[in-house]
Amino acid sequence: MQPERPISPSSLSVKDLRWQILWDKETCTLCGKCTAVCPVNAIELGVFRKRLIEPPVGFLEPPGNITKSYYGVRQKTDPAYACVGCAMCNMVCPNNAIAPMRADEVDKLRFHLDRGGQPRRRGGRRNVPGVLLDRLKFIRISMLTDPALDAGRHEFELRTLLGRVLPPEENLQHIREHGWIPPVREIYPLVIGGMSFGALSPNMWEGLQMGVAYLNEELGMPVRMSTGEGGCPPRLLRSRFLKYVILQIASGYFGWDEILHAIPEMKEDPCAIEIKYGQGAKPGDGGLLMWYKVNRLIAAIRGVPAGVSLPSPPTHQTQYSIEESVAKMIQSMSMAWGFRVPVYPKISGTSTALAVLNNLTRNPYAAGLAIDGEDGGTGAAYNVSMNHMGHPIASNIRDAYLTLVKLGMQNQLPLFAGGGVGKTGNLAANAAALIMLGASGIQTGKYIMQAAAGCLGSESDRCNICNIGLCPKGITAQDPRLYRRLNVDDVAQRVVDVFLSFDTELKKIVAPLGRSTSLPIGMSDALGVDDYRTAERLSIKYVV
Amino acid sequence: MCRLFAITSKEPLSPMVAVEALNVMREGHDGSGVGLFLRDLSGPFEDLKDAPILSGIFSEEGLKRLDTFMMDVGFMTKYKISIKVPKTPPPGVPRRDIYLIRAYEYPEEWEGLSREDLHFRLMTTRLQLRSMGEQKEDMIVFSFWPDVIMLKEIGDPMAVARHLQLDRKELRARVLMAQGRQNTNYAINLYACHPFFIQGFASMTNGENTAFIPIRTFLESRGFPGYIGYNSDSEVFTHILHYTTTRLGFGIEAYKHIITPLQDGDIEKHPNAEFLRRLKQTCRPLIIDGPNCVIGCLPDGSLFMVQDRKKLRPGVVGGKPGMFAFSSEICGLDAAIPLRDKSRDLQPMYLDTAVVGPDRQEVRLCSQKDPLALPR
Ligand code: SF4
Ligand code: SF4
C-alpha cells in the first residue's frame, strides 16, 4: 500500500494478523513449494525492491545508490487470505526458510472476518486451552491391605455395555418367561465419535474403518465407531463389518434413504443407532456441510444434489415435540431392525440434560444417552456457537449419573460422555475420570484426528479450516489432490496404535486403584480435585 | 489383614474354640477388635429355636429405652443371658454397661404373618433400634433373629473373650464365625466390625473392597430398607449374598457368578453361556474387584468360603464328618480340629465356592465352570 493512498477499515498490516509468516531470504531456495501448498493462498511470490546506498570512501566521487529487486515470499493481508497457521509451508520447505508465528497480541483480523455480513465459520475446536478433566486426580491408590494390581500381568476386562440393561429381577424374569430383553452390546469403552463421511475425506474414513476392523478382528478389542450424520457407504452397509459401526441419524436424515433400503441386504446388524439431537461444538445448531465439500460422491451417499451447502435443521422436524420425537424416533428405529439393535440419543451438554434423561428412563426402548460437552469438535460451525455455547461435560455427566442413582437405574441406562476428552493429550486420564464420574463410555473425535491423521488444529486457533474442504492434511478435504496426501493404511495403523496405548494407560490408571475385572463406573471415591467448589459440585474429594 | 475363622460341628462348641483359633493366627490381626456369630444354639436356646434373639450392647439408659420400645411393639422377654462383666475392663476394651442377649416371644399381632413379612419386620425392628441407638449413642444392635447370637467388641479377641466369660454353657453353638480385626480405621465403630448380618445371612471378609462405592450405590438404590449401614466396605458382601438369594432366588453357587463373574471367553464355553452373559450384564455393579476372602453362613446353617477373582487371600477348609472349619490360615484350622485328614484340606481357588451344608458331612466344592442351577 502506498502511504498516500486511502485505507479502508479492513486494511490490515501483517502485524494485525493472527499468524505472521517469517521468511528467511538467506535460506529460501525460491522453489515455490510453500506458495503451492498453502491451503488459503496466504502467501505469494513477492518481488521486492531494495535500494542500496553506496557512500564513496574518498571525496571525489559523489554518493550514489542503486536499486535492486529480489524475489521472495510475501504474506497477504487481505482478511480473506489470512494465514491460518497450519505451517504446511514450513513442512514442505526444503531449507526451513519459512514458518508461521503466532501474533504477540490479540489480532485485529478477528474484527474483519465477517465480510458480506457472514459471521466467521470454521471447523476445529473451541480454542480454550485447558480442560477441567486434567485437574481431576486419581487419589485412591491401593496400598497394603489391598495391593495395587499389575497393569502388565493381571487379567483385565475393561468392557462396557451399550444398551438398555434390565434390572436384575426383571431381567431374570424375562429370561424365565422368554420375554423381550433389550439388545445390549459389550463394547470397548472408547468409541470413535460421530464424524461423517463428507466431513471426513474418503481416505480418512476408510482408514478409521480399517483400523477399527483390525482392532476387532485381530486384537479382540470391540471398538466401535459412529458414522456421524452423513450416511454410510453402500458396500459397508452390506458387509460384515457393519457390526462395528454405530449408524447415526440426525435432523438432515442424510444418507438414510440408502441405509433403509439396504436393511434387507444387511449381513449383520449395526452395533447401534445413534440419534443425534445435538453436538457439543454447536449446541442447538444442526450439522453443517458447506458446499465446498459436497462433491458427487458425497452427494450420492447423502442423497442430495452436489455443490450445495447442507445445513441440517437444529431439531428433528418431523415430530411435534421433542419428547415425542425422541420416543417415536427411538421406537421406529428399534422397529426397523426388529428390536435387535440398541437405539440411543446423543445430545449436546446442556443444563436441560436431566429433562432428556428423565424422559429416557421412562422409555423402555432407550438404550442409553450420549452427552457431548462444550469442548466437542466439529467439521463446520459458526465461530460464536463453538466458542460460547454449550455446557461442560464433567458436571453434566455427574448430574446425569447421580440422577440415575436416585432412580436406581445407574446400570440400566448407560451414559456416554464426549467433548474435550483428551483435548490436551491426556486421553486415558480424561476418559477414566469421566468413567469414575459415572460415564459408561467415552466418545472421542478430535483426539483421533490428531493422533491418527495428524490434524494440525490446536486450542489456539490454528488451521481450523475443516469446513471449506481445504484441509492441508487431507483429513477433512473432499478434493482428491488433497486427500491423497493421507495414506489409508497409515491411518488404520495409527488408529490401532492409539487404542493399544490408550488401553495400556487405562490399565495403568485402574490397576493402582485395585480395579481390573470391571470398568470403575461411578467410582467417585477415587477422584480428587484441588478446587473446593469443583469438588463439591462433582461430589468428589477436595485435595490439596 | 484380618483373620477369619468359622466352624460347624455336630456337637455344640464353646465360642472359645473360635477365639482360640484367632489367637493362634494373631500375627495377622492387631487385636483391635473381635466379632462373633453363633448359630444353631444349644443349651437354653435349644428349645427356643423360633424365638428371635436380640444381641447388642446397651447402656443403662439404652436398656430402659429398649424395654419400653419392645413392650410397645408387644415383644415379651422369654429368656436372657446376663453377662456381668468386671467393673474395669482389660486394657483396650471400653467400659460397657450391658452386653445383651435376649430371646423374645413374638407380639400377638405378628401371628399369622407370612414368613417374608415376619422376616421383614424383624429386620425393621433391628433397624429401628439401631437408629434409636445412633441418636443417643446408648444402644448398638448386632442382630435380631431366631437362633442367632452376635457379639462384637473392641480389643484383643482373647482379652475380650475372657472379659465376657464366653466360655459359658449357654453360649455353646454348632456354628461359629469369628473375625479378629486388623484395624484400618482409627476410630472403631462396632458397626464396622465383621461378621455382618441381615435376615439370617451373615458373612465376614478380609481385604479391601475397591469397588465399594459403586456397589454401595447400587445396593442403596434397590429400595430395600435393610441395605444401609456400610460403615465397613465389607458389609456389601453380606448384602449381595442376601440380594442374590432372596431377591434373585439363586443358590449359593451363583454368588460367585455375581461378585466375580467369569471372563467373557470362559462364559462362551459355559453350558449356561447365554444366561451367564445376561447375569453379568444385569448385575455388573455388584462385581467386586478387591482382594477378598469371604466366609459366610446361610439361613440353613451352611457355611461357605469364596475367594476373589485373582485369589489374593489365603483361606483353607478342612475337618472330618461332623466337624468342618474354615480358616484364614492352616494354623487356625489345626488349633480347632487337630485330628483330621490334612491331606483332604482344601484351599478354594478363584473359581471355587466351598460349602459345608447343615449335615456337616463333607465339603462341597463347586466351580464357576460347572452348570448353574437357574433361580427358583
Ligand atoms: S502457515 Fe499455512 S496458511 Fe500460513 S502461509 Fe503457511 S501454508 Fe499458508
Ligand atoms: S488439519 Fe484438517 S482437520 Fe485439522 S484443523 Fe486443519 S483442516 Fe481441520
- The one-character DSSP state at B245 is I
ipTM of the complex: 0.91
Q: What is the whole-number distance in angstroms between the Cα of residue A464 and the centre of ligand 1? A: 12
Question: What secondary structure does DSSP assign to B47-58, as a single string?
Answer: GGTTSEEEEEEE
| Beta strands at A343-348 and A369-372: parallel, antiparallel or unpaired | parallel
pLDDT for A302: 85
pLDDT for A318: 61
Burial letters B179-190, b for 16+ CB under 10 A, else e: bbbbbbeeebeb
Q: Do B282 and A522 touch (CB under 8 A)?
A: no
Q: Is the CB of A463 under 6 A from ligand 1?
A: no
Residue A389 near residue A284, CB atoms below 8 Å: yes
Within chain A, all domains assigned CATH 3.20.20.70 are found at 132-542
The residues near A336 (Cβ < 8 Å, ≥ 6 apart) are A260, A263
Of B184, B217, B248, the CB nearest to A522: B217
From A221's Cα to the closest Cα of chain B, the distance in A is 12
pLDDT for B247: 94
Q: Name the band, by pLDDT with cuts 50, 70 and 90, for residue B192.
A: confident
Q: Is the CB of A473 under 6 A from ligand 2?
A: yes
Q: How far is CA A93 from the centre of its chain?
A: 29
Residue A278 near residue A373, CB atoms below 8 Å: no
B82 exposure class (CB count in 10 Å sphere: 0-12, 13-18, 19+): exposed
All three cell numbers of B272, joined, read 449356561
Residue B185 has pLDDT above 80, yes or no: no
C-alpha span between B215 and B193 (Å, rounded)? 19
Query: Which of B217, B279, B350 is the mutation pick for testing A, counting most A CBs within 10 A?
Result: B217
Nearest CA to ligand 2 atom 2: A471
The torsion angles phi and psi of A333, rounded to 5 degrees, stand at -65, -40
Q: Which residue has the higher pLDDT, A325 or B249?
A: B249
Domains of chain B: 3-49+147-367 (3.60.20.10)
The one-digit pLDDT tens for each residue of chain A (544 residues) are 566 778 888 899 999 999 999 999 999 999 999 999 999 999 999 999 999 988 888 888 888 889 999 999 999 999 999 999 999 999 999 999 999 999 999 999 999 999 899 999 999 888 888 889 999 999 998 876 666 778 877 889 999 999 999 999 999 999 999 999 999 999 999 999 999 988 999 999 999 999 999 999 999 999 999 999 888 999 999 999 999 999 999 888 888 999 999 999 999 999 999 999 888 888 888 778 888 888 888 888 888 889 888 888 777 766 566 677 788 889 999 999 999 999 999 999 999 999 999 999 999 999 999 999 999 888 888 999 999 999 999 999 999 999 999 999 999 999 999 999 999 999 999 999 999 999 999 999 999 999 999 999 988 899 999 999 999 999 999 999 999 999 999 999 999 999 999 999 999 999 999 898 899 999 999 999 999 999 999 999 999 9
Above pLDDT 70, what percent of chain B? 97
Within chain A, all domains assigned CATH 3.30.70 are found at 14-118
| Beta strands at A541-542 and A527-529: parallel, antiparallel or unpaired | parallel
Mark out the alpha helices in A337-477 (DSSP H runs): 353-361, 383-388, 393-407, 427-437, 446-453
B284 touches chain A (CB under 8 A): yes
Q: Do B208 and A145 touch (CB under 8 A)?
A: yes
C-alpha span between A15 and A109 (Å, rounded)? 10
Residue A509 near residue A432, CB atoms below 8 Å: yes
**Topology annotation, domain A14-118:** Alpha-Beta Plaits (3.30.70)
Mean pLDDT of B107-134: 95
Q: Name the band, by pLDDT with cuts 50, 70 and 90, for residue B29.
A: low
Q: Which stretch of DSSP H or E encloses residue A65?
A: strand A64-75
Chain A residue closest in CA terms to B247: A169
Nearest CA to ligand 1 atom 7: A38
Atom of ligand 1 nearest to the CA of A84: 3
pTM: 0.94
pLDDT for A144: 65
Q: What is the whole-number distance in angstroms between the Cα of residue B270 and the centre of ligand 2? A: 49
Query: What CATH number has the domain spanning A132-542?
Result: 3.20.20.70
- Give residue B132's identity as a one-letter amino acid code: M
